[in-house]
Amino acid sequence: SSTNTAVTVIMSASELINSLRKEFENPTEWKRRQAFLQMNFNQLPFDRLVCLSHCYVNSSLHGAVYPERVMDEAKQYSRTIDVYLAGNGGGGDGSSSGNAHHNSGKQQRQDRRDQADQPAYKRSRY
């Protein structure tokens, strides 16, 4: 007869969060996603937390647009992230050029949101 053995691994919240870093995430992406995860660890179901953390980073840094409900939820749970990062000694990759890039990203996101309001046949693909 075969014996099935279950192994339970107990990790701290910090260890669990750090285990979520993807190999393709650069330091800025990871710092912001890690902060989102830490801030909201006890606020959301785990699967929703992980999903929204990706949505937050993709929309805030890369201008991705999601359905309005998702955007609103990501915004709600990230509204104090800059304060959180400032208080925890991080704000991205530590470069001073981050704000210029962030501002251009804001404009790109607004352009994409404006475009999302247009009928599909009027939307630019680029």
pLDDT digits (tens, 9 = 90+) for 44-88: 999 999 999 999 999 999 999 999 999 999 999 999 999 999 998
What Å distances lie between residue 109 and 49, 72, 87, 102, CA to CA? 22, 14, 26, 10
Share of the chain above pLDDT 70, in %: 68
In the chain, domain spans: 27-93
What does the alpha-carbon distance between residue 64 and residue 82 come to, in Å, rounded to a whole number? 19
Q: Which residues neighbour 78 within 8 Å (Cβ) at sequence distance 6 or greater?
A: 36, 39, 56, 60
What confidence score (pLDDT) does residue 23 get? 94
Residue 16 has pLDDT above 50, yes or no: yes
Give the confidence band of 8 by pLDDT, cuts at 50, 70, 90.
confident
Q: What is the DSSP string of 3-53?
A: ----------HHHHHHTT--TT--HHHHHHHHHHHHHHTTTS-HHHHHHHH
What confidence score (pLDDT) does residue 68 get? 97
What confidence score (pLDDT) does residue 3 get? 74
**pTM to 2 decimals?**
0.64
**47 token code pair:** 């699967």
